Amino acid sequence: MEKETLILFTGDSITDGNRYKKKEQEWDLNHQMGHSYAYIINGILGSRYPQKHFKFKNKGVSGNRIIDLYARIETDLLPIKPDILSVLVGVNDGPIDKNNYIPTSKDKYEKLYRLFLDEVKENLPDTKLVLMEPFVCDSEKLHNEYMVWRKCVTGYAQVVRRLAEDYNAIFVPLQEEFDKMCECYNAEYWSWDGVHPTENGHGLIADKWIKATQKLLGINNDN
């Protein structure tokens, strides 16, 4: 029998997927993974490869920025001791006009992300890393501000790609895939507001994640 492999997803609302978070809700196993790409990955891998004993946890929190992920390491990451840590964060670091947030500069984003990863590697040296590229879509709701958002998020994406190389992590490319699919179907088909994916968008993310990680997971997802 293969050893259990614990996969932990963390990030913002795109990962969160409205999952249950309260202690009194832990009994309801239907909602622990939310309804994001993490839930889809859980369902696909769990059903196709039961012999692999994959176990999944979702610690995404809506509204989180990279500084928030760093602040939650002690409570939501280190005690879990995942075999694989998957991270998607960045869109909330961008030009959001609410809660008086100041957009995170590219340099600060990189500095905080490195602090986060250094903390993980220092305390969990055997944990494998999967870093997912932040993205935006040119939907009707975001259209007037799209280029501002795109420039900012593209900077973050460059950082994530560089960090994946520096920390020997798997990089999951997403922006180019969303761009390509938005040319085939309208952007709202994939992301209803340019930031949050629809069910179709989450399915696309899950597909790219599984393809990027299949060697790490020891699976063949070509069938």
pTM of the model as a whole: 0.91
100/37: higher pLDDT: 37
Is 139 within the bounds of a domain?
A: yes
CATH number at residue 164: 3.40.50.1110
101 is a domain residue: yes
The Cα 41–Cα 108 span in angstroms is 31
The verdict on residue 159 lying in a domain is: yes
Cα–Cα distance, 171 to 87 (Å, whole number): 10
pLDDT at 222: 61
- CB distance 145 to 193 below 8 Å: no
Q: Which domain holds residue 158?
A: 5-217
Q: What does the pLDDT look like over 68-80, one tens digit per residue? A: 999 999 999 999 9
Report yes or no: 13 and 65 within 8 Å, Cβ to Cβ.
no
- What is the pLDDT, as a whole number, of residue 217? 96
- Asked if residue 17 lies in contact with residue 36, where contact means CB atoms within 8 angstroms, the answer is yes
Residue 222 lies in a domain: no
User: Which of 54-63, 93-102, 206-215 has maximum average pLDDT?
Assistant: 206-215
Give the count of domains, the chain: 1
Task: Give the pLDDT band of residue 31 (cuts 50, 70, 90).
Answer: low
pLDDT of 20 over the 50 cut: no
